[in-house]
Structure 1
Amino acid sequence: MEWTRGPTIGRGSSATVSAAISHGTGEAFAVKSAELSKSGLLQREQRILSSLDSPRVVGYVGFDITEENNRQMYNLFMEYVDGGTLADEIRRHGGRMEEPAVAFYTGQIVKGLEYIHSIGVAHCDIKARNILIGGGGAKIADFGCAKRVSGGVDDLAAAGIGGTPMFMAPEVAVGEEQGCAADIWAVGCSAIEMATGGSPWPVVGDPVSLLYRIGFSGESPEVPDFLSGEGKDFLSKCLRRDPKERWTAKELLKHPFLAESDSIQKQLPDFNSTSPTSVLLDHGVWNSLEEPETQKTRQNSPEKRVEQLASSSPVPDWRWDENWITVRRHN
């Protein structure tokens, strides 16, 4: 596939996420890239993401290896979701969300977890920055820490412990285990993050002190007093220190706190699209067959389609510049 790489829209410790567009189809997508020699984690993420298929999980598009600036790059192609992250959504709500919005997004995260847990995958890094928001709601993204937790021998099972300390469950903080129950703890922490606009734990000086507190203090994150009784009870089911006592995602979906969550979607911001295809189609990129040939050619060029996408999607801001690089599959 021939495609064009755009500006960086995200950056991690081992990979960079860029906007991209396909020359052949005109579809926008996101590409997560790392140097081939350092791409072991990204290749592991590709193997997991390619096995998933759920509306509550960011879509897998494909992968390739390219030659760029005399370096071989491993590229993981993913669905482009145009509303930014859940952390961005919290800011759009003024720094904290009202309880109905917390319930709505929490419910969608739990639906995604119920699916991936059912096929033996734990995400291991649930937090607002790893949840993408589009017109259809929330999608779990960034499977860089994910691993297989059941069924047969798999090289993914040796992934070890990873994630973000502030959202780690007690059993993870002490290095004992990291499985599906740890994702449920992180759901509780993320709901607090949405409701308060702050971290689930008081800020401490260093990660070691934080992990010690999570693992050995016997405490759980403080549940906000202003939540309803149902909201508090829901969080109590997520934030039990014993992982065996935490509710599963399947059980949480039946909790009253989430029972009516889908009904409030119409009250939330309506983003223009939910997929790479509709980003372009909904804004009429090919909506006129009456134009002169020269105009149609420019309209259908990758550069013009990117300009259309940039002008129609306020988050993230895809300002057009001269830094786009055309790349081709490396054989």
Structure 2
Amino acid sequence: MTELELMEELGRGNYGTVKKVLHRPTNTVMAMKEIRLELEESKLNAIIMELDILHRAVAPEIVEFYGAFFIESCVYYCMEYMDAGSLDRLCGAGVPDPVLARITHAMVRGLHFLKDDLQIIHRDVKPTNVLVNRKGEVKLCDFGVSGQLEKSLAKTNIGCQSYMAPERIQGESQNNLGTYTVASDVWSLGLSMIEMALGKYPYPPETYANVFAQLTAIVHGPPPELPPGYSQETEDFVALCLRKDPAQRPTYAELLEQPFLVNDKSREVDMVGWVANAIEHRDTHRTVSSSQTDAPPAVAND
């Protein structure tokens, strides 16, 4: 910690914070994530082993991991700083078809690498865990460590967004967890694509009476669909990911052979321009929201 200069806070959650830091010895800007732990020694050892895997997960579609250290009941790990932030904050204006293909292609390549090269299943695929930089690069983060520290269903409350596949929701509600497979992450990928296209989470909690109604809709209702304006290739790809029967969902290798991603290889996409516009939209929206928050309420007790 003495080698790090704290610059600014990037995010805060139930389990800790993410801060932008400067590593003085190497003059490298990093993102440092703090996770508060109250675990017995065996679980700490498991996390150390997992962090070692993160250190070996080197691929263009994976956020670079620099290392980790412990201080008392906290683990800190340092990773590549992605200066455009997480994808969930960049898709407020929606994501056009070619950009959606480019982002999805990077996600599938990253997930395929983790599974085939390191035998890791991400388990927490969602826009929050996809980071972007101003160069237009798209990279996965948060696989295997912090995601596994949180119990997805037990921590769910009204307003929480669930990217769990229907079979996972059913399994957890029946305490029958079974074996987590790639198919569950493929569902989460499809749901993330819908969110990018809509610019919002596809199962908005405000439309359900409670969280159980929301989860019931995910399990038993029809899967969400893309809004108008996307190609047939895109619609077909999303429909494959969101098949209710996990046995019918494609593998990553099969997804990479779909026309939606094959055609992306030969297409020119201005990712730098899209990121710049997405950041401008995000910051403008944030400024408007802030000014509305600062305005005096119409009714004092409202």
Bucket of the pairwise TM-score, normalised by the shorter protein: 0.7 to 0.9
Structure with greater contact order relative to length (CA < 8 Å, sep ≥ 6): 1
Q: Evaluate the alpha carbon distance shift between residue 218 and residue 196 of structure 1 in structure 2; reply closer, same or farther with a 3 A threshold.
A: closer
Residue aligning to 1:50: 55
Q: Evaluate the alpha carbon distance shift between residue 110 and residue 136 of structure 1 in structure 2; reply closer, same or farther with a 3 A threshold.
A: same
Cα displacement (A) at 1:15: 2.1
Between the aligned partners of 1:122 and 1:240, the Cα distance in structure 2 is: 19
Between the aligned partners of 1:85 and 1:123, the Cα distance in structure 2 is: 16
Residue aligning to 1:133: 132
Q: Does the CA contact (< 8 Å) of 1:108 and 1:139 recur in 2?
A: yes
Between the aligned partners of 1:185 and 1:257, the Cα distance in structure 2 is: 17
Structure 2 SS opposite 1:50? helix
Residue aligning to 2:256: 253
Residue aligning to 2:115: 117
1:3-152 pair list within 5 angstroms: 3-35=4-36, 37=38, 40=44, 46-66=51-71, 73-91=74-92, 95-118=93-116, 119-134=118-133, 135-143=135-143, 144=145
Cα displacement (A) at 1:137: 1.6
Residue aligning to 1:295: none
Structure 1 SS opposite 2:162? helix
Structure number with the higher helix fraction is 2
Q: Which has the larger radius of gyration?
A: 1
Q: Deviations over 1:111-134 (max 9, x none)?
A: 111111213211122111110002
Q: Is 1:214 aligned to residue 218 of structure 2?
A: yes
Q: Does the CA contact (< 8 Å) of 2:99 and 2:269 recur in 1?
A: no
Between the aligned partners of 1:115 and 1:75, the Cα distance in structure 2 is: 25
Gaps of 5+ in 2: 172-176, 276-282, 284-302
Q: Evaluate the alpha carbon distance shift between residue 34 and residue 145 of structure 1 in structure 2; reply closer, same or farther with a 3 A threshold.
A: closer
Cα displacement (A) at 1:81: 1.3
Between the aligned partners of 1:58 and 1:208, the Cα distance in structure 2 is: 34
Between the aligned partners of 1:262 and 1:86, the Cα distance in structure 2 is: 21
Residue aligning to 1:182: 184
Between the aligned partners of 1:242 and 1:161, the Cα distance in structure 2 is: 21
Q: Does the CA contact (< 8 Å) of 1:60 and 1:79 recur in 2?
A: yes
Cα displacement (A) at 1:209: 1.9
Q: Does the CA contact (< 8 Å) of 1:17 and 1:30 recur in 2?
A: yes
Structure 1 stretch displaced more, 121-130 or 99-108: 121-130
Q: Does the CA contact (< 8 Å) of 1:123 and 1:145 recur in 2?
A: no
1:267-306 pair list within 5 angstroms: 267-269=270-272
Residue aligning to 2:195: 193
Between the aligned partners of 1:33 and 1:188, the Cα distance in structure 2 is: 29
Q: Identity, % of aligned pairs?
A: 31
TM-score (norm 2): 0.74
Structure 2 SS opposite 1:126? coil
Q: Does the CA contact (< 8 Å) of 1:131 and 1:140 recur in 2?
A: yes
Residue aligning to 1:234: 237
Between the aligned partners of 1:207 and 1:125, the Cα distance in structure 2 is: 19
Q: Evaluate the alpha carbon distance shift between residue 206 and residue 167 of structure 1 in structure 2; reply closer, same or farther with a 3 A threshold.
A: same
Cα displacement (A) at 1:46: 2.5
Q: Does the CA contact (< 8 Å) of 1:125 and 1:145 recur in 2?
A: no
Q: What amino acid is aligned across from residue 102 of structure 1 in structure 2? A: L
Q: Does the CA contact (< 8 Å) of 1:103 and 1:257 recur in 2?
A: yes
Q: Does the CA contact (< 8 Å) of 1:201 and 1:222 recur in 2?
A: no
Aligned pair count reads 255
Cα displacement (A) at 1:84: 1.0
Q: Evaluate the alpha carbon distance shift between residue 202 and residue 30 of structure 1 in structure 2; reply closer, same or farther with a 3 A threshold.
A: closer
Q: Deviations over 1:236-260 (max 9, x none)?
A: 1101111111011111111111123
Cα displacement (A) at 1:48: 4.2
Residue aligning to 1:283: none
Between the aligned partners of 2:146 and 2:185, the Cα distance in structure 1 is: 11
Q: Does the CA contact (< 8 Å) of 2:243 and 2:249 recur in 1?
A: yes
